[in-house]
Amino acid sequence: MKRRILCAALALCLLCAGLSACGKPEEKLEKFSAYSFDYFDTATTIVGYAENQEAFDALANQAIARLGEYHRLYNIYLRYEGMENLCTVNELVDGAHRTVTVDRRIIDLLLYAREMHDKTGGMVNVAMGSVLKLWHDYRTIGIDDMQNASLPPMDKLKEAAQHVDITKMVIDEEKSTVTLTDPQMRLDVGAIAKGYATEQVAKWLEAQGVRGWLLNVGGNVRAVGKKPDDTPWTVGLENPEDPTADYLAYLSLTKEALVTSGSYQRFYIVDGKSYHHIIHPDTLMPAEGYLSVSVICPDSGMGDALSTALFCMSIEDGKALVNSLKDVAVSWVTDDGKQTVSDGWKEYVKK
């Protein structure tokens, strides 16, 4: 009988040990999340660990407010009372662009955009606004009225493509001014602004001492430190060919950005064929060959620009570009659903 009691005690101990090993580890910090729908035409999710709801909200609300400031500054279609933004930079007054004194955050974005233009051999070009506006206008009409959806005429696109020279974007850093010296030129920062703003908000959070947060601004993901239990964030990367299939990969992020450009993200249908939003600078048509290109790198702005640029390049050229940069890993999913990855990608794939 004694022995049975001993056995029962032992079993109880095992059960307890098993339970505690499976159970949630004791943590002082709790996980919270916040959402915003107002900025960059997308949904923003902030997930983070904090001591309580109030502490989380205080920071999350400030982060979202900051994102809102970038959204207004970088908006190319809407102007806001009492401020100069990229919409007013694009405006024509008496047939010409003014020299506009802008917020430093606009100067910094445009300088970064110019740098990325040069690094990618012009595959990301914020001066392509005239071409992209044609696509934007036709897409907007096409989504609204699917029966009458049409493509922008090629002669119009070619005419617009005469005015995409980024050297005509003149920046005076000292005076904090921008001038577009070609009246037909427009800026479109759609390939970089969201990622750049995400990066700035992440950096601000880091400067506040925040760790264990994750930002997701419409697919521009940026990790701000590991989780409190010292594990990385896990991001499931959807299979663009079949979203119900297993994830393409589970990725571990601690401080990196992950940005995906996909042909399924923003598109419209003309005569049964889908036309997405990533316009190739040479063909002036949606870039062909990929379902998605995902980039992991230290900077969300760079990830945003690179994922667009790589979408417009062959895998071979893309690999050469990636290898010339530091700490950049890429996954390409081609139209046939096959995945190709760069050398560094496997480091982030969770085993």
Partner 1 sequence: MEHIDKTRLRRNDVIFIAALLAVVAIAGACLYFLRGEGNTVTVTVDGEVYATYSLAVDRVEDIHTGKDGLNRLVIKDGKAWVETASCPDGICAAHKPIHREGESIVCLPNKVVITVSTADSGNQPDIVV
Chain contacts with partner 1 (rule: CB under 8 A): 3-4, 7-8, 11, 14-15, 18-19, 22-24, 34-37, 41-43, 45, 47, 143, 214, 216, 219, 221, 233-238, 243-244, 247, 250, 258, 260
Give whichever of 47 and 322 is closer to partner 1, judged by the CB atom. 47
Least Å from the CB of residue 25 to partner 1: 9
| 112/233 with CB nearer partner 1 | 233
Cα Rg of the chain, angstroms? 24
- As measured in angstroms, the least distance from the Cβ of 98 to partner 1 is 34
Comparing CA positions, the residue from 350, 243, 247, 260 lying closest to residue 296 is: 260
Q: Supply the minimum distance, in Å, between the C-beta of residue 151 and partner 1.
A: 21
**Could you please report the per-residue DSSP string of 126-184?**
TTBHHHHHHHHHHHHHHHH-GGG--PPPHHHHHHHGGG--GGGEEEETTTTEEEESSTT
Pick between residue 22 and residue 207 the one whose CB is nearest to partner 1.
Answer: 22
Burial of 184 (0-12, 13-18, 19+ CB in 10 A): middle
Identify which of residues 45 and 99 has a Cβ nearer to partner 1 in the complex: 45
CB of 121 to partner 1, least distance (A): 27
Q: Are 44 and 210 in contact (CB under 8 A)?
A: no
Q: How far is the CB of 137 from partner 1 (least distance, A)?
A: 18
Amino acid at 246: D
Q: Which residue, 8 or 58, has its beta carbon nearer to partner 1?
A: 8
CB 311 within 8 A of CB 287: yes
Closest distance of CB 286 from partner 1, Å: 19
Question: 7 vs 78, which CB is nearer to partner 1?
Answer: 7
In terms of Cβ atoms closer than 10 Å to its own Cβ (0-12, 13-18, 19+), residue 28 is: exposed
